[in-house]
Chain A
Amino acid sequence: MMRLSPFTYLAPRTLAEAADLLAEHGRQTPTMVVAGGTDLFPNMKRRQQEPKVVIGLRGVPELRGISTDRDGWTLIGATTTLAQAARDPHLGQQYPALAHAAHAVSTPHLRTTGTLGGNLCLDTRCNYYDQSYHWRKSVDFCMKRPESNPAAICWVAPGSPRCWAVSSSDCAPVAVALRARFRLVSAAGERIVEAGDFFRDDGIEYLARRPDEILAQILLPPTDRSWRTVYLKLRRRGSFDFPILGVAASVKRGNSTVEDARLVLGAVGSAPVDATELAQSLIGAEPTTEAVDAVAAQAYRGARPLDNTDLNYAWRKKMARVYVRRALADAARLDLHHDSGQVGAALL
């Protein structure tokens, strides 16, 4: 077992207190909030992140639980655990893709501890970054965590001026596809941001969250049965593994035609990749395999997997096409079964 370095742990009882503590300590010393700790504590052991003050959010009741407001929005407290989200009847009925994504995260043990908020704020991942301190030191570190080396490069793309660490959250692409909003609270006040604006395509500065802000709530817009959202996760084992690809697809159907469509890819870049523009070519017509194929053929070009997660990136890119096709067809209630089994049919 690797050991945690010493740090001060603070356990506020209210959101306001938490925000004050974050502002106050954050001014002087590296300070972070922790929810389930299933991401932060392993990172601290590997010394990828080394806050000297850690503010625990689990003792703040107002950050927990799932409710609805008068306008039909669903409000999820950021420290609601993934296990709670996965089995919540209301989410299961109204936003099954989100419940499914929460259920698809890691293992049962981690889901009872890990939170939805933590999942959305999950640090970006990379084979060169997710290593122990001594391992990273032996390659002179990397630009995401340069330590003593100001000239540290990106090991995945050595000539690159930016970090390519991967957004690996299962729930993030679904939140973007559902057009969720996030309520961010700080000592200075609060603001609401669109999920799509919350994630930034940069492996280091991967969130638009300011360091003094706490993600308090996830707000889901009202939905109805004309919408169907699907999340497909590609991983090697039936449990445990981070997504090597996640595809969230949403399709709103009228009587026969598609009225609206959204498409978001996860784990193919430093932020969820919103390919909704492509999916919108389905609007106005009855969904067909050909139309879905055409979107898939376009969408996977936008996926730029690099050689920094499990398995070969060329294959992962091909899989983006397969999964977009499957997810969109499923969301559009289209039966692909007649042609599966034709080898590589989706790839031709």
Chain B
Amino acid sequence: MAILTTREVKGVGFTIPRPDGADKVTGHTRYVADLNPPGLLHAKLLRSPHAHARIVRIDTSLAKALPGVRAVLTAADIPELHPNAKTRAHAIMAIDRVVFAGQPVAAVAADELAIAQEALDLIGVEYELLPVAVDALQSMQPGAPPVADAGTEADTSEALAHSGVAATESQDDSKAVNVAQQTRLSRGDVAAGFAESDVVIEHTYRIPMVHQGYIETHSVLAEWDSAGGLTIWTSTQGSFNTRSEVADVLGLPETRIKVVPMECGGGFGAKIRALCEPIAALLARATRRPVRYVMTRREELAAGMPAPRVVMRVKSGVKRDGTLMAIEAETILDSGAFAGAVLTLNGIFLASLYRWPSFEVRGVEVLTHKPSIAAYRAPTAPHTVFAIDSQMDRLARALGLDPAEYRLRHLIDEGDPMANGQPWQKNGARACLERMIEHPLWTGRAEWAASGGRDGRGLRGTGLAVGGWIPGIQPCSATIKLNPDGTLNVVTGQVDIAGTNVGLAQIAATAYGVDFEQVSIVTADTDSAPLAGLSAGSKVTYTMGAAVMAAARDAREQTFKIAADDLEAAPEDLEIVDGRVVVRGVPERSLSLADIGKKTNAFMSNVPPVLGVGSLGFSQQAPAFAAQLARIEVDPDTGLVVLHDFVAVQDVGKAINPLGIEGQMQGGAVQSLGIALTEELQFDDDGRLMNPSLLDYRKLTAADVPDIETIMVEVPAPAGPFGARGVGEPPIVPAPAAVANAIEDATGVRITELPLTPERVALALLARPSEDGLSA
């Protein structure tokens, strides 16, 4: 669409620092944990130390008698609690059986946190230990200890909410114990494809559970009013979704609940679903006081909602000239104690990121006695791309072909069928890869490799990978009003977890015709805001951006209509220049936006206020891709990998705020590198987390990450505002594969299990066949 203005406004495409940044780094931003309403009580949860046990008895009498304790709740006190809970939020507390270590069994509200903590020690719980299924492969076997209550339906709403890509087939037959869902995607004759292949490569890829690692832990404050209304202040990625879920769990009419979305200190998918809201509400009801619950880091790691453990066996066959023939894969997704994984997208990326003429990919979601999972930024895509990209790299090497050229030759294009039959939409996968292979770090990779292995240097290598995500869509709406001072206010219910409000202001500014400083964005609560979707699935700018754009255009038309009367001109002849509505070509005939705003607010005026509304539904998703390159050095004696350089290329459609996107690209890359190199939730054989602290759960530090060079390419998304497409998720996808590819480039060994620990690399090096007369 053409916006008619003579001067380019400061809006879309400008590099704008986040206005909330200074408050955040100086500690002035208020989070849920900073709220201190009068009469506030503090909550603590007693969590099971055992992964699978029957609760024989709970004695809360001593805890209740402790001065300062206002309520102690167990399952017996919660009529809303039912067996066969379909989500973690519904399973507010264990009823008579705990199914993972960390599951709440009792809750306390007290005057002080220390009292609540002390009360936990006074609660006596007798457990009868039950056999534990920790490993998904064992958990799938007949006779394995059950995780869910018999008859529980798997919850797949998250899968749908997140990506909206439907599976073609879902299998229901012969569900083994603890198998929550099964999918299968196939096309063509796989057996014939392999029979005609010259080279067949098969590997099993393993990725452990990892935690999203947001800085702010799950936090909620709940309070009831005397009329029975519930208000929840919470750190959420979607206030309306939280409202629906809490209403469902507590059996309340949705509109009796008001959710106030607070500043969200990171979510990455783990704050989509409700988690602690119901128990905080119940404690507040029991005490008639506001109750705040803030999870500790230890609780986050042991009983948060991490990403699933994934095991993929992938077999692929090609002709000697590289022609793709067949791929066959089996994925086991270990979801912990409650179902809800995004299984289909794993199949789609395995089978149809490259043009395999025949494929058969099967997936199962398996329950185990571990904390249940949630989304983590492009859920399972880093895992999937680790497998398929490693496979492509290996095939290229086996055939003696250039690995980047090889990918380019077989990468999908717009219109190619996805594994579920739908066509790939226009995307920049190819553009990212093409841009990356021009980069001097890629063209200079031979010199880099040659410089390694001497003068005290380790072995050097370069690897790249390409991957992405199919961002979600969800209806949403926004309003925009013109104020009497000529500024604009946008109101949405969209939580800003990534600096998206800056982008929305830029979109409103350009669409209306003013500089972005004239626009402020208000994130309102569920009572006041028009409906909005989740801040997830890389879709805030794509969807809410479009709604804000529509609202701003509507407001612009209304503004012109008012001005046209006054200026005695046709609305089509008007434009906005420097905050004034001007008759095109006749600059002396003009009216300031403030004048118009005042007219619409003056006593006895008959001019209606300008209130633009954008309310949209969407049907077209816009795939979003990134390519990443890692230049590394491996210490051949220890297996330690040092990252020297890292480059991220991403198709952003249209960069609304390049600075914001750069932040997404760098942050995503750092998380991706953590998954690649160090992160792993380690469970012992009894299902206990061995590393529930940030000392032992190793996120990368500033000392471990090199500068990350960011390069944006712009392949416009047909339905995106100004062509923008989702940017949040793609950058977390390629690094594990890129680093594994670089390790093979440097050393000749292929590691198929994450994280790429020094011991894995060193042991693989020792086991590799000798080339230079050395043998291990």
Contact = CB atoms under 8 A, between A and B. Distances in A.
B636 A240 contact: no
A345 interface: yes
Interface string A221-238: 000000000000010111
Given A135-B692, A315-B763, A344-B765, A236 B636 contact: no
B774 A345 contact: yes
A138 B688 contact: yes
B774 A343 contact: yes
B701 A311 contact: no
Given A3-B113, A346-B637, A138 B698 contact: no
B456 A342 contact: no
Contacts of A336: 456
A130 B749 CA distance: 35
A241 B452 CA distance: 27
Interface in A108-153: 127, 131-132, 134-135, 137-139
B766 interface: yes
Interface string A334-348: 001100111111111
Nearest to A155: B684
A236 B678 contact: yes
Nearest to B700: A237
Contact of A340 (B50, B636, B766): B636
Given A138-B50, A138-B688, A238 B637 contact: no
B747 to A, nearest CB: 7
Contact of A236 (B455, B458, B637, B698): B698
B397 to A, nearest CB: 18
B3 to A, nearest CB: 49
Contact of B766 (A311, A341, A347): A347
A67 interface: no
B768 A343 contact: yes
A311 B758 contact: yes
A291 interface: no
B117 A3 contact: yes
Given A2-B298, A3-B113, A315-B762, A310 B696 contact: yes
Nearest to B116: A3
Contacts of B700: 237
Contacts of B456: 336-337, 340
Contacts of B703: 237-239
A340 B49 contact: no
Interface residues of B, number: 48
Contact of A239 (B454, B701, B759, B775): B701
Contacts of B198: none
A348 B561 CA distance: 85
Nearest to B771: A343
A133 B114 CA distance: 16
B776 A344 contact: yes
A341 B296 contact: no
B704 interface: yes
Nearest to B51: A138
Nearest to B302: A135
A188 interface: no
Nearest to B765: A343
Given A238-B704, A315-B762, A346-B637, A341 B453 contact: yes
B690 interface: yes
B701 A240 contact: yes
B636 A344 contact: yes
Interface string B686-725: 0010101001101011111000000000000000000000
B23 interface: no
Contacts of A348: 774-776
A288 to B, nearest CB: 18
A311 B636 contact: no
B634 to A, nearest CB: 9
A107 B701 CA distance: 10
Contacts of B452: 341
Contact of A342 (B455, B640, B688, B772): B772
29 contacts: A2-B296, A2-B298, A131-B692, A132-B298, A135-B49, A137-B49, A138-B50, A138-B688, A236-B698, A236-B757, A237-B678, A237-B704, A238-B701, A238-B703, A238-B704, A239-B701, A239-B702, A241-B695, A242-B695, A311-B758, A318-B762, A341-B636, A342-B774, A343-B747, A343-B766, A344-B636, A344-B637, A344-B776, A347-B637
Kindly list the 5 A-B residue pairs having the minimum CB-CB distance in the complex, ordered from nearest: A238-B703, A138-B49, A341-B453, A315-B759, A337-B456
Given A132-B692, A134-B49, A322-B638, 7 more contacts: A236-B758, A237-B704, A238-B701, A240-B698, A310-B696, A344-B636, A348-B776
Interface of A: 1-3, 107, 127, 131-132, 134-135, 137-139, 234, 236-242, 310-312, 315, 318-319, 322, 336-337, 340-348
